[in-house]
A and B are shown apart, each in its own frame.
Chain A
Amino acid sequence: MKNKSLISINDFTPEEHIRILDLAEDFERQPTQRILEEYVVATLFFEPSTRTRLSFESAASRLGAQLIGFSEPASTSLQKGESLRDTIRTISNYSDIIIMRHPREGSARFASEVSSVPIINAGDGANQHPTQTLLDLYSIRKTQGKLDNLEIAFVGDLKYGRTVHSLVMAFCNYTTTFHLVSPEALKLPSSVKIHIKDKKLTYHQYTELQEVVPKVDIIYMTRIQRERFSDPLDYEKVKNSYVLRKSMLEQAKPNLRILHPLPRVNEIAIDVDSNPMAYYFTQAMNGVFVRQALLASILGVVE
């Protein structure tokens, strides 16, 4: 994986995904390892995202790397109309790896073509966010002890949620049964379902959350955004039907864990937080280990 950019989850093979997860386990056991002291890591956030940026910066700092970058475009020459091409070309001369988030879809792929150093995509518009997918894989393997033969429920906005699309695609590499819970208007797009069908895997679609809870090993919750509905009345109708409450977990399998890419608004009731099945805050912490594993392997300091 040395010098390889990570733009889309499919840029890495399933074997490489597993290698990253194994390395992340090492970093979880020993998070502070000053193996990147010689390296400069650039974090370019053309669109603010505090959580993702801090997670990457925490990962780089724990490895001893030097950090440069910006957290919002207002402070950059972008304001003066500089092209992305020129920004990336310049900063790739200042750093050994670039982590970028950008509001335009495809920006990270383009950056990887003009950059002299590898790029890690930390989100390009509504397109891809592969490090989120890897930390989701890590969290699922850690809580279930495996990635194969799992029953996974995806709940909420399955139409626009890029984390859902990438994770569904990653799980198409395994024997997975997909349980897709969403309002009619926010069903998983056929362009993603085609990957499930290609691998001859099974999926079930639901509009009620309660009925899938007893069946699954993982519930992956996502937020339903008001702005996705053209008619506000449609939003009002569905907004409370996709809220997970503690009382709904009584019939759940004991190994069920609840994941959420965060931030949460109201789709998981606060009373779930104290339930041992709630895993979303640990999931976010796992992101640091996974990003440490990516930095170390792309920079070539671990095999």
Chain B
Amino acid sequence: MSKKEIRKELKVSAIENGTVIDHIPSHNVFQVIRILNLTDYPNQLLIGTNLESQKMGKKGIIKVSNKFFEPQEINKIALVAPTATLIVIHDFNVTEKKQVKIPNQVEKIVKCFNPNCITNNEEMETRFTVIDKRELKLRCRYCEKITAKDDMVFF
């Protein structure tokens, strides 16, 4: 390991068990924390922003002790931070490493932007088909209107 790489590793300390969310666009770090409901997280939570990254220039990183995310939560991350990598740690060892993926279907986590949609007026879950992964456009199964990235609100 070169000296430079060691220095990079030391910027944020390691966790024993839990999940590291790496390669988050720096400006989205706090959004990721919010949609994952980590603001009141009772265990160790390490947050880094504007860290140097060969891939991205600058990146953000979140290390969450004793937390292993459900697929649904991972999908949430993909919608706001499509570049993110998920690293699962057990006993200081990486046991799993994967790139988050924008799913074909998005359920429960996003609000439909149309105020007259039944999902905003009845106690029920939302369901969308992702019709454009690059621009991130979701078509509501119910009102059939398209919620775009900039209109996206998370539950």
Query: B-contacting residues of A (Cβ < 8 Å)?
Result: 8, 83-85, 102-107, 109-110, 124-128, 191
Contact = CB atoms under 8 A, between A and B. Distances in A.
In this complex, the interface size class of chain B, counting residues with CB under 8 Å from chain A, is 10 to 19
Given A109-B141, A109-B142, A110-B118, 5 more contacts: A84-B118, A85-B122, A104-B116, A105-B118, A106-B118
A106 B142 CA distance: 4
Contact of B117 (A8, A85, A104): A104
B122 A84 contact: yes
Contacts of B143: 104-106, 124-125, 127
A193 B17 CA distance: 52
Nearest to B120: A104
Nearest to B112: A106
Interface string B112-155: 10101111011110000000000000001111111000000000
A110 B144 contact: no
Contact of A104 (B118, B144, B145): B118
Contacts of B140: 106
Given A127-B143, A191-B146, A105 B116 contact: yes
B122 A127 contact: no
A124 B117 CA distance: 10
Contacts of A105: 114, 116-118, 142-145
Shortest Cβ-Cβ A-B pairs, 5 listed: A106-B142, A105-B143, A106-B143, A106-B118, A104-B118
Nearest to A114: B124
Given A83-B123, A84-B122, A85-B122, A110 B142 contact: yes
Contacts of A191: 146
Contacts of B124: 85, 110
Given A83-B122, A84-B122, A85-B124, A106 B146 contact: no
